[in-house]
Homo-oligomer: A and B are copies of this chain.
Amino acid sequence: MQYRFYYWPMIQGRGEYVRLALEAAGADYVDVAREPEQSGGGIPELLKVMQSGDDERPPFAPPFLKAGKHFISHTPAILLYLGERHRLAPSSEAGKMWAHQLQLSITDFDKEIHDTHHPIASQLYYEDQKKEAKARAGDFLEFRAPKNLGYFEKVLERNKSGDGHLIGKRLTYPDLSLFQIVAGLRYAFPKAMRKLEKKYPRCVAVHDEVAAHRRVSAYLASERRIAFNEMGVFRHYEELDARG
Contact = CB atoms under 8 A, between A and B. Distances in A.
Band of interface residues on A = 35 or more
Interface string A71-87: 01110110011000000
Interface of A: 55-60, 70, 72-74, 76-77, 80-81, 94, 97-98, 100-101, 104-105, 108, 111, 115, 119-121, 123-124, 129, 132, 135-136, 139, 143, 151, 154-155, 158-160
A135 B155 contact: no
Nearest to A143: B123
Residue of A80, A97, A158, A159 with most partner-chain B CB within 10 A: A97
B139 A124 contact: yes
- Report the copy number of this chain in the oligomer: 2
Contacts of A97: 70, 72, 77, 80-81
A60 B94 contact: no
A56 B101 CA distance: 13
